Amino acid sequence: MAASETVLRIPLGSLSQSCYLASFFVNSTPNLSFKPVSRAKRGLRCTNSHDLSRVSTSAARGDSFHGSNCALRGKKLVSNICKCQKHDVEESIRSTLLPSDGLSSELKSDLDEKPLPVNGSVSSNGNAQSAGTKSIEDEAWDLLRQSVVFYCGSPIGTIAANDPNSTSVLNYDQVFIRDFIPSGIAFLLKGEYDIVRNFILYTLQLQSWEKTMDCHSPGQGLMPASFKVKTVPLDGDDSMTEEVLDPDFGEAAIGRVAPVDSGLWWIILLRAYGKCTGDLSVQERVDVQTGIKMILKLCLADGFDMFPTLLVTDGSCMIDRRMGIHGHPLEIQALFYSALVCAREMLTPEDGSADLIRALNNRLVALNFHIREYYWLDLKKINEIYRYQTEEYSYDAVNKFNIYPDQIPSWLVDFMPNRGGYLIGNLQPAHMDFRFFSLGNLWSIVGSLASNEQSHAILDFIEAKWAELVADMPFKICYPAMEGEEWRIITGSDPKNTPWSYHNGGAWPTLLWQLTVASIKMGRPEIAEKAVELAERRIAQDKWPEYYDTKRARFIGKQARLYQTWSIAGYLVAKLLLANPAAAKFLISEEDSDLRNAFSCMISANPRRTRGPKKTQQPFIV
């Protein structure tokens, strides 16, 4: 057995109650054993006795899935015809996760009623239309439905891209957690709830699955970056196949990056599901509550950090390659904050969770303060940095992070408008990443990590810098691109992330939906309307690319996939929300009064003085 196939496993055999898992991960130190697990023995599985197994990425209608069995390999979770039957104690812990409704999903019946438009004959609202006259929205719905992946006969996600002409699929045939969010929201807005519920519950099962890289396992709460439904022959019976859910936690991903954002997005989607459907039974389940707590435990674990921001490696989010965002990137902080707020809303108070809730509340306040104070950048702040004293050793330092004014990049001086501002990309000792990162800024508005004034200022900034951030196609993932030596050193000469391409200043249509939620929240939907209008001019014609290249986003990205699902879903969510802005509220978190009070107490207490020496003492400088 290869070393990489050897994993540390937590024995669950002696557990006696289904609720044990919650307290197990929250309270106890697991008794670790060293047990070899072959890769083929991993993943959730579903057996098909009549070789009916398939991953449907297109029209799955009409297939029979009778005789399917679902099983969690290694943990022996077994079900019959996708109806879970308790098999042993281990099963009982997780068996409640499986949707018991088999084929009766709303989505499936919807698909049954509306055959996929091979010749474009059916519109998303059921109206017959002739080929060639379909609206962009109808086409997008058709494409989104074609990207649906089925497992045990139930829809559980959407593949990342469905490009029929792509020669190298890589992992774009997988269901990515982050990519599914706009798909899930589009389905929620359409009233098709099953796929989202299934996605939430199946990915939850993958959460605590054994995962290793060279004998090392990441934390238990980690959610995979993606998963794939695989059809494999059944052990010992060639006439049968089974479907296996095979997750990738980063151990196969390019660069072996850990998907820190997956669990955070999962929590955000879970809350959106409850708010949109009114069905709180999913978030109230013991296993789901446990899942939330496991993610929180992982994120709130004590470490060496001086900052309340989450410390991560490069490539741990939407930008999943080396782009110099290791440390405390804004995107992760915005999602972290938002996930904490959502979790706070959903956690059911119970014995044993008081410490976790306390830690969560403390972190929310500290994170909020830290980002609003230290990440904020506008003309006034640049001028402050420009005049910073350095090497201040004291509790009262103004330049706490010892930022050298020479770090202010030349592009920024002219770029910053008089009105508006934004949250910088990253903050570390002696380092401010002044680049503008869209997702982090937009989600800071949505989740109220940015204050009301800051949120408006970010939108002012976007409006003022439209030609740079939007140009011909919304929306630049970051601005500006790294070039020359900086690109060479920071990306490691990454040929995909050349200047103004892909993650390095490329334009990503999927960001339309976050822009829409943010502008609706601030009562400025016209910003999103303008962006959607622009996208509509070419996105369908260009076959829904993953990203666009060049400073003005004029070219379809060099290596961009076509029919990229989150480009399609992002557009749909933007359209649906602009048509019904009230629906955005299930994605938005308004700042609650408790937090506002705690935050203003913190400001008025002036943290510079709380631990500082008495006034009579002189700060000393080394």
Q: Residue 159 interacts with ligand GLC (CB under 6 A)?
A: no
Binding to ligand GLC in span 186-215, by CB under 6 A: none
**Which is nearer to ligand GLC, 265 or 307 (by Cβ)?**
265
| Binding-site size, ligand GLC (CB under 6 A) | 6
Q: Which stretch binds ligand GLC (CB under 6 A): 64-72, 127-135, 176-184, 486-494?
A: 176-184
Distance of CA 138 to the CA centre of its chain: 26
Site string for ligand GLC, 58-87 (x = CB under 6 A): ------------------------------
Q: How far is the CB of 487 from ligand GLC (least distance, A)?
A: 17
Measured between alpha carbons, how far is 547 from 302 in angstroms, rounded to an integer?
Answer: 38
Alpha-carbon gap, residue 21 to 7, rounded angstroms? 20
Q: State phi, psi for 281 to the nearest 5 degrees.
A: -65, -30
Closest residue to ligand GLC, based on beta-carbon distance: 160
Least CB distance to ligand GLC at residue 182 (A)? 11
Which range binds ligand GLC by CB under 6 A, 173-181, 187-195, 237-245, 289-297? 173-181
Nearest approach in angstroms of CB 561 to ligand GLC is: 7
Question: Does 374 interact with ligand GLC (rule: CB under 6 A)?
Answer: no
Please, which residue, 323 or 403, has the CB nearer to ligand GLC? Answer: 323
226-234 and 175-176 strand pairing? antiparallel
Q: Supply the minimum distance, in Å, between the C-beta of residue 219 and ligand GLC.
A: 21
Query: Under the criterion CB under 6 A, does residue 228 sit at the interface with ligand GLC?
Result: no
Report the 3 state secondary structure along 485-532. HHHHHHHCCCCCCCCCECCECCECHHHHHHHHHHHHHCCCHHHHHHHH
Smallest separation, CB 79 to ligand GLC (Å) = 30
Alpha carbon distance 518, 505 (integer Å): 21
What SS3 class is residue 361?
helix
> What's the chain's length in residues?
622
Write the DSSP symbol of residue 169.
-
Q: Which is nearer to ligand GLC, 107 or 160 (CB)?
A: 160
Site for ligand GLC in 85-104 (CB under 6 A): none
Question: Measured from the CB atom, is 68 or 565 closer to ligand GLC?
Answer: 565
| Cβ contact 528:547 at 8 Å | no
Which helix (H) or strand (E) segment holds residue 7: the answer is strand 6-9
Q: Which two tokens mark 386? A: 């420009």
Which CA distances in Å does 58 have to 61, 154, 158, 243, 495? 9, 13, 10, 17, 33
97 vs 160, beta carbon nearer ligand GLC: 160
Taking the CB of residue 554, how many other CB atoms lie within 10 A of it?
A: 14
Distance CA 369, CA 317 (A): 23
Smallest separation, CB 36 to ligand GLC (Å): 31
173 near ligand GLC, rule: CB under 6 A: no
Contact region with ligand GLC (CB under 6 A), list: 122-130, 175-183, 228-236, 298-306: 175-183
Half-sphere exposure of 14 (CA within 13 A, CB side): 5
Residue 178 or 465: the one with the smaller Cβ distance to ligand GLC is 178
Q: Which amino acid is at 44?
A: L
Strand bridging mode 44-48 / 68-72: antiparallel
Stretch that binds ligand GLC, among 171-179, 294-302, 361-369, 598-606 (CB under 6 A): 171-179
Minimum distance from CB of 481 to ligand GLC (Å)? 15
Q: Which is nearer to ligand GLC, 97 or 439 (CB)?
A: 439
Question: Are 425 and 434 a contacting pair, CB within 8 Å?
Answer: yes
Q: Which is nearer to ligand GLC, 32 or 169 (CB)?
A: 169
Which residue, 163 or 194, is less far from ligand GLC as judged by CB? 163
Nearer to ligand GLC, 320 or 494 (CB): 320
Closer residue to ligand GLC (CB): 308 or 557: 557
Angle between helix 194-207 and 260-277 (nearest 10): 150
Using CB under 6 A as the binding rule, whether residue 179 contacts ligand GLC is answered as yes
User: Considering only CA atoms, which of 62, 18, 11 is closest in space to residue 35?
Assistant: 11
Among 29-37, 81-89, 172-180, 532-540, which window interacts with ligand GLC (CB under 6 A)?
Answer: 172-180
What does R_g of the chain's alpha carbons equal in angstroms? 25
CB of 197 to ligand GLC, least distance (A): 22
Cα-based distances in Å from 421 to 7, 312, 373, 386, 462: 47, 25, 13, 16, 9
State the binding string over 292-321 for ligand GLC (x if CB under 6 A, else -).
--------------------------x-x-
Helices (H) and strands (E) in the chain, counts: 22, 17
Q: Are 122 and 114 in contact (CB under 8 A)?
A: yes
User: Cβ distance 363 to 300 under 8 Å?
Assistant: yes
Nearer to ligand GLC, 210 or 246 (CB): 246
- How far, in Å, are 356, 508, 552 from residue 171 at the CA level? 36, 19, 28
Q: Which is nearer to ligand GLC, 72 or 161 (CB)?
A: 161
Torsion angle in degrees (nearest 10) through CA of 274, 160, 38, 89: 10
Determine the residue type at 42. Answer: R
Report if residue 463 touches ligand GLC, rule: CB under 6 A.
no
Q: Which is nearer to ligand GLC, 179 or 246 (CB)?
A: 179
Residue nearer to ligand GLC on the CB measure, 176 or 422? 176
164: which 2 tokens? 């029929």
Question: Of these, 160, 186, 367, 540, which contacts ligand GLC (CB under 6 A)?
Answer: 160
- 571 touches ligand GLC (CB under 6 A): no
Q: How far is residue 198's CA from residue 75's CA, in Å, rounded to a whole number? A: 20
Q: Please report how close the Cβ of residue 489 comes to ligand GLC at its closest, in angstroms.
A: 21
When binding is defined by CB under 6 A, the residue of 45, 75, 114, 178 that contacts ligand GLC is 178
Sole binder of ligand GLC in the list 65, 176, 437, 461 (CB under 6 A): 176
- Site residues for ligand GLC, window 471-530 (CB under 6 A)? none
Q: Of 73-81, 103-111, 174-182, 448-456, which part binds ligand GLC (CB under 6 A)?
A: 174-182
- If the CB atoms of residues 162 and 353 are measured against ligand GLC, the closer one turns out to be 162
- Cis upstream peptide for 480 (omega within 30°): yes
DSSP label at residue 122 = B
User: Contact between 335 and ligand GLC (CB under 6 A)?
Assistant: no
Task: Give the nearest distance from C-beta 318 to ligand GLC in angstroms.
Answer: 4
- Residues at the interface with ligand GLC (CB under 6 A): 160, 176, 178-179, 318, 320
